[in-house]
Amino acid sequence: MEVSIFQYEFILKGLLGAVFASITAGIIGTYIVSKRMVFLSGGIAHASFGGIGIGYFAGISPVLGAAVFSILSALGIEFLSVRQKIREDSAIGILWAFGMAIGIIFIYLTPGYTPDLMSYLFGSILTVSYWDISALAIMSVLLILYFGVFYRTILYISYDEQYARTYSPYVNIFKYITTALIALTIVLNIRMAGVVLVISLLTIPPNIAMIFTRVYKRIVVASVLTGFAGTSLGYAISYKAGIPAGASIIFTLVVIWIIAKSINRLAVAMKTAG
């Protein structure tokens, strides 16, 4: 079978998208899983739907709308919880639904049909542009630099914030920067996996990695690799079966997780038996 230009482009986009989605999701995913910020991240992902709706309504890029909206909501939650003015999980729960509500309201107010709304909810490779992929590539470089240069500082603030405060006056600044990067990473990956599913793209790979290692750096690397395996395989399946990419990626990742868990169980059982 000959590969058409269309197919070639599709495969290229899929592969490039998978590479940069895995890098960004692996780095940020390890952070949010280790710091138990998965619920916060899920909240940010859903709240960003408000920004998508506003983007549609105002005629600007929905991704831009989502980026601004999610960074502001993430920083808002961080700010409120640093000051301990509100229960963090309640704040997240409220924001989660509020963002979705705003999104739905604005999309209904937008005249005409919104064709790729489904792709924002569930992700689609068909609507991923080279602009989206470039944005993910830039984000990958940014995250590698940030986490590479400040590795120890970020690691120690994450592990024991109060102790870090005894030697560093920059703890809050790092927390805010990292939170903004989490929000941005989520928004950029929404194009790949969709609002509803993006959180699994971030959380499943580190959980697979943590079955085999508890060293932070190794978890990041292993997450990127498993993420890439899961996303590229998921794309292939979505293409062959004609199902939404986000769903098939998550499905593939969960299958990998189950296999990894089983292998680990078996290895432990053999060790104790032998």
Cα gap 133→241, rounded to integer Å:
23
Cα dihedral angle (47, 50, 56, 58), rounded to 10 degrees?
Answer: -130
Cα gap 253→223, rounded to integer Å:
11
Taking the complex as a whole, the smallest distance from the CB of residue 253 to another protein amounts, in Å, to 20
Cα gap 110→116, rounded to integer Å:
14
Closer of 98 and 156 to another protein (Cβ): 156
Q: What angle do the packed helices 130-149 and 171-193 form, to 10 degrees?
A: 150
Q: Both ends of the chain: CA-CA distance in Å?
A: 51
Closer of 32 and 66 to another protein (Cβ): 32
Q: Which amino acid is at 131?
A: W
Taking the complex as a whole, the smallest distance from the CB of residue 236 to another protein amounts, in Å, to 31
Q: Which amino acid is at 66?
A: A
Q: Say which DSSP state 160 is in.
A: -
Closer of 33 and 67 to another protein (Cβ): 33
Taking the complex as a whole, the smallest distance from the CB of residue 257 to another protein amounts, in Å, to 17
Taking the complex as a whole, the smallest distance from the CB of residue 211 to another protein amounts, in Å, to 12
Closer of 35 and 100 to another protein (Cβ): 35
Q: Is 173 in a helix, a strand, or coil? A: helix
Closer of 98 and 216 to another protein (Cβ): 216
Query: At 257, which helix (H) or strand (E)?
Result: helix 245-273
Residue 78: both structure tokens together: 């961080």
Taking the complex as a whole, the smallest distance from the CB of residue 5 to another protein amounts, in Å, to 45
- Rule CB under 8 A: which residues touch another protein? 34-36, 149-150, 152-153, 155-156, 158-168, 170, 210, 213-216, 219
Q: Is 220 in a helix, a strand, or coil? A: helix
Taking the complex as a whole, the smallest distance from the CB of residue 241 to another protein amounts, in Å, to 36
Closer of 16 and 88 to another protein (Cβ): 88
The residue with tokens 């903004």 is 180
Closer of 131 and 165 to another protein (Cβ): 165
Taking the complex as a whole, the smallest distance from the CB of residue 145 to another protein amounts, in Å, to 11
